[in-house]
A and B are shown apart, each in its own frame.
Chain A
Amino acid sequence: MRDSNRFKFRLAALSAARPRLLSLLLLCVSALPLTARADDVTLNVAYDTLPVSLDIHEQLSVGVLRLAHLAFDPLVRWDRHLGLEPRLATAWERVNDTTLRLHLRRGVHFHSGNLFTARDVAWTVARLKRSPDFKAIFAPIVGVTVVDDTTVDLHTRRPFPLLLNLATYIFPLDSRFYSGQLPAEAGDRQGQDKAAIAKGGNTFASRHLSGTGPFEITRFQPGARIELTRFPDYWDHTSPGNVDHLSEVAIGESATRVAALLAGDVDFIAPVPTTALTRLEHNPGIDLVTMPGVRITLLQLNQRRVPAFRDRRVRLAMNYAVDQRAIAKHLLEGFVTPAAQMSPEGYAGHDDQLTPRYDLAKARRLMREAGYADGFEVTLMAPNNRYVNDAQTAQVALAVAAMLAKIHIRVEFKTLPKNQYWTEYDRRAADIMMMGWYSDTGDSANFFEYLTFCPDSRSGTGQYNASEYCNPELDSLIALANSETDMRRRTSMLRQAEAMVYADAPFIPLYWQNLAWAASDRVAIEPVLNVMNMPYLGDVVVTPRAGETHSR
């Protein structure tokens, strides 16, 4: 996925809350002080954005997935080392090449009191396949069979090795809670299916929630605030988590977010702006945690627009001219990891041999060989970070322009705010486009499918391939890897694919953006963080403030 704040603009539509819902929320709030005990542990969190809907199938974004980890549980989830850890699924096995059998946890209850069974999993997958944002990811699953109450089979048409990765996106919904039609009190929505999904729509699921997760929602202001309390019947008794009340607010301005943490108004913030890293690192009472991220930033060289880019030697020369290590060290203060391939460390396709290859003399020689000793002129576009927390992309674009100037490629560059940038990007408006990409599946193949596959508007592959690069041999290698269920063979195929891209250089990889979180040192944040940027706050341990423990 290319961006996490695409749902910002829908805020206005949803915040026109129904009066009935409002009074319900008020009731919850007024009830809070009565139920909250003095020794309850409270955690206040500030994110840049919060979901505008409680329906976790409405939007595919980091914000929604973070909410899903609080109010729901996935079948399996990523651990810190990109391994998979059992949650609602306790064990799994391959029945045959196209079938994966999952054994489900027993005795798990939803917030509504309903018992969790295999039928909820089947129902949830069926709903995911109807969701506009998720159906592409779930296309490989063609069927789900309920074997018994705690066993379920996932079927694919062809052998598909990433079923477990997909299972990290399956947060079983309470099928009985979400089934049926809205009653007469719903007014003009009477008779609407409770399971309906509508982007920015006023559906049942966008306002009501019942999951198995560690927290229940007590108050929800779309896009602005979410209040949660610990679910008393939560199944995971081994979880060390001790937070009773969790409050999340959206603070879009990064400096304000940092100030809120420093002032003690909130205990945990994400993301941390690059410019505040040094300051927070040296601040007593604040813990800063950084991790090499999995989001690759690269420069795509459009071969359709620039004939010179069709020459492999020119593309290689540009790769030799750009010094990723200098960018990481001097420009981004070490808060990115220099990259020469798409797959970050820990991913199947990652190959330690593929390292940045800055060599100006070689770059100049390659340009001479290609007949471009005097260079040429190109345009470059990049998003700027005026409103968004991101690496200083405008500075990066300028540094790259300076590096390419040394092999006589004159770069005319411009930077735009992100929302304007994507329109220009979709038009392929410049010769070189900057792109940042997360793998939706936590797997290397996803990078290839979106960034290097021959662009095909019908199947949607190569949708963000602004290099307009097309290498059928590479595409078929990835397709082969995608039906290889032997993980060792698959890994070597993906590495081979990365090596092919390294040699063919359709783009210039720049860096993986490091992730950064900051929290008050009362909050043991490090154990619940992961590179997928979804803090598992259900498991977080907070040392109560001195006043909180003994005030009774």
Chain B
Amino acid sequence: MNPAPTPASRGPLASALGHLARRRRLWLYLGMLLLLAGAALMAPWLAPSDPYDLAQVELRDSLRPPWWLADSLPGHPLGTDVQGRDLLSLMLYGARVSLAIGFGAVLLQLLLGVTLGLLAGYRGGRLDALLMRWADVQLAFSTLMMAIVISAVVKAAFGGAFYGHYGIWLLILIIGLSEWPLYARTVRASVMAEKRKEYIEAARVLGFSAPRVVLRHLLPNTLPALLVISGAQIGQAIMAEAALSFLGLGMPETQPSLGSLIKSGFDYLQSGAWWITLLPGAYLVLTVLAVNLLGDAWRERLDTRHAPVSPTAKGG
């Protein structure tokens, strides 16, 4: 993949500086994400205590503030939640859950969306119509509503215990299932555009099988677009999980995600324990921001249309 063509109107120096700035920003965002995600991944080693081990929890230590305020406890730098669990540990473990759900859900969306998009775009006809109308119907609902409906159905069908047990997997499934149409549409559109080009026709004439044409020749050409969407989608999925948890449909109290931490603190916000809500909230916002900015910066690097030259002509 080549970097974006430099606009002819700007001098070579300005263009080089712009490049550097963009790249520096990219590194900055990447570093930010790596720091936040890395801390989450290393939670078992970084966290002062294991918040999933209930035997370590002391209710008498509940609602202690972060270290810089009076009445804080030495072992709990960011204070404790209402149960007396260490908030820093809860946040690190919670971020792990949130990120796992974010990436997992996007992976599922990718898998579903790409498969169905390739099918619809390459086959066309009735299958295409069926899949795209289905996607249309799904897009007509807000994704959050879809997620609520699916999770309610899952809860009713399998019961709350099942839900509590497989919380992470179910949330990945729910958010994955409710957001695939975006990928399917994008992939379909680029397949539709690509499949009329000569190189595809050539491949077909050479007698390559359909799966080979699709996977070896069409799919690689849709990748740039997919990478760009994924940045935004991961952020979206993390937020969707937080929203679901906030509504009480997300992770159970014993294994809170950032979203369910924010929710559990919400009840105590008015009694002055702001840290349970605001600190995980800040972590969440920073993580999603890093993911989004990274996606944006990446898009700028990949997207040729960003340059002020006339858009590339259709067809080849």
Q: Which residues of A sit under 8 angstroms from B82, Cβ to Cβ?
A: 330-331, 395
Number of A interface residues in the complex (CB < 8 A): 31
> Smallest distance from the beta carbon of A346 to chain B beta carbons, Å?
29
What's the nearest-Cβ distance from chain A to residue B154, in Å? 14
On chain B, the residues within 8 Å of A402 by CB distance are 54-55, 57, 59, 83-84
Interface string of B271-295 (1 = CB under 8 A from A): 1000000000000000000000000
CB contact under 8 A between A275 and B84, given known A326-B59, A406-B55: no
Whether A420 is near chain B, meaning CB under 8 Å from some CB there, is yes
Interface code A512-546, partner B: CB below 8 Å = 1, 0 otherwise? Answer: 00000000000000000000000000000000000
Closest residue of chain B to A394, judged by CB? B253
B314 on the interface (CB 8 Å rule)?
Answer: no
**Does residue B44 face the partner (Cβ distance < 8 Å to A)?**
no
A408 CA / B84 CA spacing, docked (Å): 19
Which chain A residues lie closer than 8 Å to B54 at the CB level?
398, 401-402, 405, 411
Structural contact, B160 and A275, CB atoms closer than 8 A: no
User: Inside 8 A of A392's CB, which chain B residues have their CB?
Assistant: 267
Considering the chains assembled together, what is the distance between the CA atoms of A275 and B264 in angstroms?
Answer: 12
Residue of A nearest to B59 (CB): A326
Q: Would you call B270 an interface residue if the criterion is a C-beta within 8 Å of the partner chain's C-beta atoms?
A: yes
The residue on A at minimum CB distance from B267 is: A275
B126 proximal to A (CB < 8 A) = no
A78 close to chain B: CB less than 8 A: no
In chain A, positions 415-441 with a C-beta closer than 8 Å to chain B are 415-416, 420
Chain B's closest residue to A408 (CB) is B55
**Bound complex: CA A331 to CA B59 (Å):** 8
Q: Give the size category of B's interface with A.
A: 20 to 34
Interface check A403, CB cutoff 8 A:
yes
Find residues 376-421 in chain A having any chain B CB closer than 8 Å to their own CB: 379, 384, 386, 392, 394-395, 398-399, 401-403, 405-406, 408, 411-416, 420
CB of A331 within 8 A of CB of B55, answer: no
In the complex, chain B residues whose CB is within 8 Å of the CB of A416 = 160
B165 to chain A, nearest CB (A): 9
Report yes or no: B59 in contact with A275, Cβ–Cβ below 8 A. Answer: no
By DSSP majority rule, is chain B's interface helix, strand, loop, or mixed?
A: loop
Which residue of chain B has the shortest Cβ distance to A411 in the bound complex? B54
Q: Is A548 interfacial (CB 8 A cutoff)?
A: no
In the bound complex, residues from chain B placing their C-beta under 8 Å from that of A414 are 160-161, 164, 252
Tell me the smallest distance from the CB of A380 to a CB of chain B, in Å: 11
A551 interface hit (Cβ, 8 Å): no
B residues 222-259 touching A (CB-CB < 8 Å) = 248, 252-254
Contact status A330-B63, CB under 8 Å:
yes
Q: How far is the CA of A276 from the CA of B267 in the complex (A)?
A: 9
Q: Which residues of B contact A384 (CB under 8 A)?
A: 248
- What residue in chain A is nearest B81 (Cβ atoms)? A395
B216 on interface, CB distance cutoff 8 Å: no
Q: Is the CB of A398 within 8 A of B160?
A: no
Closest B residue to A333 by beta carbon equals B271
Determine whether the beta carbon of B57 is less than 8 Å from that of A278. no
Q: Verify A386–B248 contact, CB threshold 8 A.
A: yes
Known: A398-B253, A405-B54, A413-B254. A330 touches B160 (CB 8 A): no
Kindly list 16 other residue pairs between chains A and B, CB separation below 8 angstroms, not including A330-B60, A331-B59, A411-B54. A275-B267, A278-B270, A326-B60, A330-B63, A330-B84, A331-B82, A333-B271, A392-B267, A399-B83, A402-B54, A402-B57, A405-B54, A406-B55, A413-B254, A414-B252, A420-B160
A-B contact list, 8 entries, CB within 8 Å: A276-B270, A326-B59, A384-B248, A399-B59, A401-B254, A402-B84, A411-B54, A413-B254
Please give me the 8 A-B residue pairs with the lowest Cβ-Cβ distance, nearest first.
A405-B54, A405-B55, A402-B54, A402-B57, A330-B62, A326-B59, A275-B267, A414-B164
